[in-house]
Structures are given as C-alpha cells and as structure tokens.
Structure 1
C-alpha cells in the first residue's frame, strides 16, 4: 500500500507548501539526471499528476470551507431568531392579564410572568426558575393570604391540590383573603410539562352571587305560591332548626293561629305549643322527634302519624335537606283512616274485631291518661279554689235573703243569687273542659242571640268595673250566631273579666262587627298591652303575666279555656296588642242559619216548701273555714243545732265530750292531711250507730260516686244549693 507524502490532517496551506517543495525537488532531479532511458520524463509526468491532484484537493477544501461558513451564518441566524422568539414569548406572557407559569417535565418552574401569584405577595420572591412544583404547592397552602374553610388545614389542602395535579386538565376556584377569588386552570403540555393560568374572578363571583340571590328571591316567591296551593301543611326549617317558611294550611291542621308562626322561631317553641294536645303512634315519641331534629349526623327520613282529638289523624313526613335544614309536611288522612277502620270493621273476623276494639280502647286509655294528667291541676284548682268560696257565697246570700224585708235589698240579693248561679253554670261547664281531649265534651250548636249574652255579662261585671274606676261599654247588637250558648258565654266572660283585671284605668269596650257571613266579637281594653314574646304564654294553663296577682284573682286558666273552647267550636281566635296602648281579642262566629226561638231562662232557683227543722242536730265536718261558717249560719237560720268541726278526729272528740249522737252528718269528701269524709262517716257510725249522712264535694269523678253508693251515703256537689240542702234535711228529719 502506497504511503502518501501529504498528511490529510494538515491545514490546506501546509499541504500546498509541501506539494510545492516536492515539485521543486523533482524538477531539480530531472534536470540533473543523465538517464537516457526517459526516467526523467516519467518523474516529470508524476510530478504533474501530483500537482493536478493538489489543485483538486484545494478546490474541494475551498468548497467545504464555503459550506462551513454558510452553516455558521445560518446557525447564527437561527440563534438570533431563537433569542427573538424567547424575548417575544416573555413579552407575550407578560402582557397576558392572567397569571402564567410553565413547569417542565421534571415539575420544575421554567418561567412565569409578574402576575403569577400576585394575590400572594408573601410567596412572590420564591417563584424563580427551578422551583419544584411540590414546594410551590406547600408555599401556597401556608400563605397567609389563602382563605381556607374552618374544617380544612393547610396540609389537607396541599394534599388535595397534589391529587388534582395528576389530571391532564384541572379548573378550580380558590378563595383568598378580603373575599377575593382566583380561578386556577392547569393543563398538561404535549411534552409532559404543565401550564398554570391564574385568573381573578372576584367580580364574576360577586355578580354570580347577586344573580343567585335574585334567583333565590324569585324561587322563594315561587315556593311560597306553591306551598299555598298544597293540600298539605308544610313547615321549612334551616340548619339551626329555625322556621324559615310555612303555608296557611299548617296552622289550620295543628289548630294554631297563623299569627303564632314567625320567621326565626325555633322548632321546640312550636312543638311545645301543641305536643300535649296530640297522641303519637307507638313507634314515635316526642323525645325521638326532638332527638331527630337535634342530630348533627345525617338524618334518615322520618315518617309517622299523630292523632289530634278522637277523629283527626295527621300523617307527618320529615326529611333533611342538603344544607342540614329539614322540611316537615302534614297530611290530613282522617278520612282515609276512617275508611280503613270501616273496611276492617266490615271484613275482619270476630276475633280480629275484638283485637281492633282492644287496640282502640288502649289508645283511648292512653289519650284519657294524657288528658287527665294535663287537667289534674285544673280540676283541683276549680274544685277547691273556686267552688268552695262560691258555695260559701251562695249560703251567705241565702241566709241574708231569708230575713230581709226591704224590697230594694231583696232585688239586689236576687241579682246576686242569679249571678252566683250563673257562675255555678259556668263552673259546671268549666269542669267538662277536661273531657275535650278525649272527645267526651258535649257541644250543642244552636242559634244564640249575642245581645242576651252580653247584657247578662254587663249586669254581672259592670259593678266590678265600676269598683276599679273603669268604663265598661257593651255595644248592643242584633246578631244571632251559630254556637254553643254555654261555651260562648264562658268565652266572653273570661275575655271581659281578663280585660277588667289587667286594665288599671280607661275603659273596656265589647261589641260585634258584622262580616259577610259571620260576626266578629271584639273585646278591647286600654291596659298595658302584651309583649310579642309573651303572647304565646298567655294561652297556656296556669300562666299569668301579673305574677303578683293573688289566687283569688284567678289561676291563669281563663285564656287557656278561651282558646280550647274556640278550637272546639271552630271559632277563629285572634290577638291584637300594642304595649302601652291596650289589647284586643277577636272571636269570629258564623251567623245562625235558623231563627232563634226564645226559651224561658232557668237562672235562679225554684223555691221549695219550707219545713220546720227545729231541734235537728247536724254534725258538720268541713275543713274550709269560710264554707263551714256559711253552712253553720244557714243551718242555724233554719233553727238547726250545728256541731261543726274541721276534721274527723275533732268531730269524734266533740261527740265523745257532749255525749250526744247527731241526727245527720254533713261531711266534706276531701279533708286535710288526706282524710276522706266517707271514712270519717264510717268511723262515726261504727261508734254511734246508723246515722244518715251526706257527702259534699267538688269532685265529680265516678270514683266518688261509687264510694258514696257503696256506703249508702247521699252525695251533694259544690257549690251547694241551699234549697237542695234544706230539702235533704227535711227528708232526713221526717224519718
């Protein structure tokens, strides 16, 4: 293999210099050679060929140099264009209104504009190329300008942010301090990098909220209109169990005046209003309902039925809303339940009917026990605090009337007697109020002339008003309404009496205002008024706004009786009151459709034939001092010898001391320290022999009747009618 004289790695100038030296050496050698065979010429030709090759290589090198220069020029041009593009890109993203950031495939920050992170000045200095994405998220989560929900921590927020980073496309809103909002849009680039855009959407969020509030207002009006067209009663409560919506029908279903419903009133306040007047199905208790409302966890739908009175059944459905509020609906299913009961009654076998009857009796017993529990204090108060002094008053008046010859005085006493008898009639009906919840209250709807009732009440209550310096004005009316006369009189008497009691000066006005198909009876006073927060309390039993009032002024039963009587008669009751100006009670009654036929009044007592009761010895056992004194005075007016005692023990001691057995015994049923009159009579008769005895009591229970019947004792209820008492003594004395 031939070895080249030229090193191809040498520069072109060096190679040319070597070729020239080689050419000169060869020429000299040719000239000096004496070889005749032509070797010199051959050497010359070889030199010429080498020179030509050198020229060709030179041309190739020159062309390669030109190409290299051209490539360098294009590379410089490309670098310039790259720098220009980079500058243009930087300028472009800087002009973008949103915050912009680019992370490479290694999740490191490549570049960002000045608006990126502008809502968090405390991390701006760290937003430099090379910042890892995880460190960027941690700094954002720890920023004091990030507003997190109360239940979320910075670590939890950072964890959720990194979970979102795994998706190719993510858009979410971040709340900042000062009630500002930033929308974050994250997208994956084709080479695996990440582009983040931050947009201030505060104005959009505010407009959206305003629009949402406007739509909510429209929806609220639409919901209100919808609720009013529903057959169900509906109540809507917020997450704090406060009333935020209802319809008119719910008040009618629950027998609650619609004025009692107010925005913001708590569920418990409404529930307490009627919980004692209803009976729940066995699987639901009031406590279970309250626990469901107060639960902080997810509440399953609650469905049950409740009974109001003997025939009204309401289906109740309660369900939680997404915002932790809840909706309660009431559906009157009385007709359906009555139909089901009728079908069962017609189709069930005898055994099934017996079982159904047993269940009905158990329900009735439960209802009766509830009613008895709520009325026990009322019956006790009526029996001992009202009937006792009434009995004494009737006896005092009777004893005075018998000896009075003055015509004017007799007229006054007669009016007093009629007033006391009216009170007796009212108390008789008042004691029946305990039967309302069990459905045993009897109501007789007849045409009632309002003016007759008002005039009777004026004669009865005008002296009381004058004694307080009040002007009692009763406006005459020709209205005849459809109602129960006894209950209507009781309603008006309680309202007028209540107005007189709480009015210190001014007047009490009573009148009737005509409506289209009804009459509204109104009782207005100029008293102190009733604050709104106490307007619910006054209708409860044993509630009096004037805590200093004595028991003689009432036990706080008047308005409770009024409300129950109005509900029983379906007479809407309304209260209007202004503190410092006065109060008005409005009762609406339907006009009578039949003509009123006057009947003879039964006020006053028929006179009985007087009999001589001289020398009759009566043992009187009564723990009430006033009633004992009144009975003693009345009996002594009849020439009866009275031995009075407050207890059975003292009565036995007196009889032992005087050594005389009485002709007849009058004993109160309920004496002090739990002593019963029936037991006292038994003890006395065991000691002194068989003696006629009469038990006097305000207790009208079957238990007392059975006790007297079993012992053969006569029973007389308070308030005691003097004529009835004398009639009994006359019969006993004649034996």
Structure 2
C-alpha cells in the first residue's frame, strides 16, 4: 500500500483532477490504517499528521495552478484581440492601397514584395501574374524588362534596361518615365521608407505626354518661323547642317557673301558639295578643305573651330563652326574685311611707332644708365664721406665732452656745451643724408623684428624732454603696451623726426605722443599745437630740403626729416598720414602690424653711486682703434671717468701689448675696421677664448643689418659712431659689476 502511495506522489505530470483523486485515496487509506492499528507507539498518528500536511501542500499547489490558468486564459484573450485588430488594420491598409488611383507596391528592407494593389503593373498584363508575396525586387525588374508591352529604344536591350533600372533603385528617391507600346507612358517614382523598405508608385501619364508633344510641335513650328526671320535679319551668312552633314537651313546673306548659285543652296545638299564650290575661290589661313571635311564627318563630338578665308577681291570672312545638341552643326560667315584693313593699317602704324619708340628707348636707356651711374657714384660718395666725417666728428665730440666734464671755468664749459650741440646738429645732418642716400638707392636693408612700443616711447621721451622743457613746451608721452613688427632703427628715426618737427615748430602749448590699438595694428600719433600746415603745403613738406619756416637756421636741419619719414614708412609698409588746421596744430600718424613681443623691461638709470663705483673701480680697458685722434679722445674720456686705458692701433699691436703686460683687460673696445684683413670681431673671439665672459663692444660707423647680425652671432653689442658718451659710460659701469673686479 505504501508503494502505491509513493507511485501516486512522485508523478507530478498527471492532470490536476488525477492528482486530487490520488490524494483522496491516500487520505482514505491512511484513515483506515489509523483506525485499524492499535500499536501504542503512535506511528499511526504520525502517519496521519504527514497525510494532513501533504493535503495542505496539494491545496496550495492547486491554487497556484488555478491562478496560472487564469493568467494563461487572459493572455490568450489579449492575443486573440491583437490578432483580430492586426487583421482589421491590414484589411484597412489593403482597402486604402486599393483606393489609391496609382499603382502601388511595397517592398521590405530585404527587397521582398510585401503588398500591392490591383493597379500596380496593370498596363503590363504579362507581369501581373508573376506578382506574389516575397517576390524579390530583381525578379520583378527582370519580369518588366522582358514584358512585351515595354517599348525600349533600338540601342537598349532588356538586360541593359534592367541593369540601369537596378542602378536607379539604389537612390533614396527616383522618378523616371517608361515608354509602353501603343504610345503609352508610365511615370515610376521610388521612395525609401524609414525602415529601409521601398514604395513604388506608377502613374499613367500618357495624356500629359501626348499633350506636351503637341505643344512642343506647335512651339517648334513657331520657333522655326522665328528662326527663319532671325536668320534673314542677321548681318552674317549662316548655314545649318544635320548630323549627316546635309544642309537643312540657311539665310539669303550666305549666298551674297559666298557668291553661290541658287541651285547650290538647296535643302539636303551635301556639305562636301559646298566645299568644292568654295575651295577654288577662297584661301584659308589655318584650315584646309580636307581638315574641314574631316571635322564635319567625324563620329564623335566636334570641337568649335574658327578660321578666316580670303578672296582675291580683298574680301576677308571670319568662319565659325559649332556642333548642336542633335549632332548637327552651324557654320557662320562674318565679313571682317574693313576690320582687317584697319588692323593692317594699324599694324603698319604700330611698326612705325615701335621703331620710333625703340629709338627713343635706346636714348632713354643711355640716359638712365648715365643717371644710375651718377646716382651710384653719389650714394658711394655720400656713404664714404659720411663714414670719413663721422670718424673725426666722433673724436671731436669726445674731446669736447672731456672739456665739458672737466674742471674748467664756466665760460669754457658753456663754450664746450655749445660746441657739442653744434656737433650733434652736424651728426644729425650727416645721418639724415646717409639715410636719404640709402632709401633712394634701395640699399637700406631692413631688419624686421618685434619692437616694444612702451620702451621705444619711453626712450624718446627721455631724449626730447630736455629740449621741450627748454622751449617751455609740455611734452606728454602716453604709455602704451604691445609690440609691432618693424625695423627698430628706422622706426625710432621716424618717430624722432616727427617729434623733433613738432617741438621745433611749436612755440607754445604742448606736444602729445602716443599709440593706440586698431584691430591687428598699432597706430602711432604725434600731435602739436603749432601753427599748422595749409592743405596746399601738406604734400610739399615731404620733399627733400623743403622747410615751410624759411627763418630756420641750418643748425635746425636741412628739411630732410619728413622726406626720410615718408621713404622709411613706404619701405616698412607703415601707412603714413597727416591732418592739420591752420592756427590750431598738426597731427602726423602711421600704423604698424601688431605682434607678440618680448616682455618689457624698465630702462636702467645711472645713480651717483654708480658713477662713483666706476671712478673707484680701477677698470682696465683695452682700446683698439686705428684712428689715432679718436683713440686718444676715447682714452682721455675713459681715464677721466676713472678707468685705465691700454690703447692699440691694430690687432697685432694689441696682442703684443697684452703679451708684454701678461694680463687680460676688464673690458674691450674694438673698432670693426682695423686695416686691411683685420677686424675687431676676430679680436673679440680670440680674447673670449681665454675669458668667455669678457665684456666687449664693437665700434663702427657701419649701420648695416649684416654687421648687426654678425655682432649678434658673436654675442657682442654694436656701438655706432659717433660714440654716444652715455652708452659708453653704461658699458663701462656694467663691466665693473663682474665678480672678478674688486674696487681698491
């Protein structure tokens, strides 16, 4: 009995009714056993409890199964409703597609036919039976290409048409017309769906195509009449040929120009026949009759051609031929006899004129060579004379500077100061002549670099402030930031000349100097409250040796300042301008390109303690200068400041001197030109090989960019002649700051 119970319990795959039946039988069997068993151990009661527990589990499982059956029934009901709605929607979609007046078909993303209406491919009766759900698009195209209702051009096979049709199918949108037999037309349009499928619409456009053809025929008739009237009114001879080179149109002018008989100009005459009539009476320049026939009868596209033909009666015709879209061609003849006669007369006149121009040009070239030779000679003379003048001028300035700084009486010092002022004027005049010479001859080499605007304006303020204060003028320089791309020397000279003119011609009031940003440029401006410049004189002021103030002395300049400004601005491409009002003042301005420049550093200033340090340092200076007067003047000035001078006139003399005393100098001042085959830079390199940190300055009247670049490569500063005493003092003071020097 227990084995039977086990068999009933371990078979959960039975239906629910069968399981309930088994449980009832188990319960009855257990109850009977409990009633019959009189064992005192209580095993019968335990069997009863187990049966009760099993009954509870069966009841819980029965409830779970009933809940699951309810959910399943609900899902089946929902699925049935959804299926019914889908069928209803599909039926509505099919009805809507069937109501469309055009042929409609839908292919899925795999190019399989999904649905279509009865009008789709209706004109192609032999294609409709092949339409079935799942039909590939390529098979559908193949069926259409083989349809007997499709009318293809003679040169297109069904396979070629199918290939072209499949290429159009790759486009997202395509619209084209398909011609059928019996003069019928279908317009086919394809559109991609968002999921990658394809919608194909077919519209019968037979009536539209026939109506368009009728209208085109009427238009062609009207155009033919207009074309004929136009051709007859042209001043050119025109003939039109079809693709087989047969005459299909012409005007009356062609017969007059070519003197052709009426029998020759008739409809359908061959092009070669006309050429035979013309080649014996006309000569062509660049085109032969054979080449013209080959052009007319070639199979591929004809390129436009143009040539001229001439008759014995001095008639010249310009011939132009061009192909038309239908592969016919048009040839026009234009009478250019008058133009060619005029051109020949003009050519003869030009030849005569060219001979005269050539003769005059040769004369001018000779004069130009002479002028250039004289100008080059003048430039060389100015450069040589300036260099030769600067040497003794520098020595004289140094001598007078020593007198001015000496212990002489007041009268002597005043005379020395005035002499220095006069020499400064001479130096400025020489510099101006040298600049004008370089700018005129094109020998001025520009070193374009980033120039700090603030440092430049600050130095100019320091330079002109004493002069402005002497005249009682208020010189204001507005601080400005940024850098510009320019040549530092010429940019400084431009502003120097503008400020010097403003101070010179302003009697009362003030002079304002500043720079302002304008986009990618910085605009420099110099204002003054002087007498102003009349509008008629505003061009004259930029000429050489022009000074509006005739009372000015030669010491105040030769009138070259603004001429230098104009030429320098032109070469630097700094646009220059001037505005002025009589009695109220003048404003000069120019612009330079703004760039990123180095960080601006304040200009160091010498203090009394620095001057005293220089006097007490016992600085040993090696001075190498081949100009004896300049070497002596420099030596006296350096000794007055407290330095000890070892002077030499050449590189060999300097080497011998250093060898004799057995020591190296604390600083080196060397001239660049020390005689034939010698220069100061070589001496700087030799001494720095023994003392790499030796302070050195190269002296020269040569202001070229090449020399500055050589000095930069040698890490040596160029000190231009005439020697500026302040720059010289600054250099000597910086030499005392070396750690190897100890003041006594």
In the superposition, the TM-score normalised over structure 2's length comes to: 0.42
In the superposition, the TM-score normalised over structure 1's length comes to: 0.42
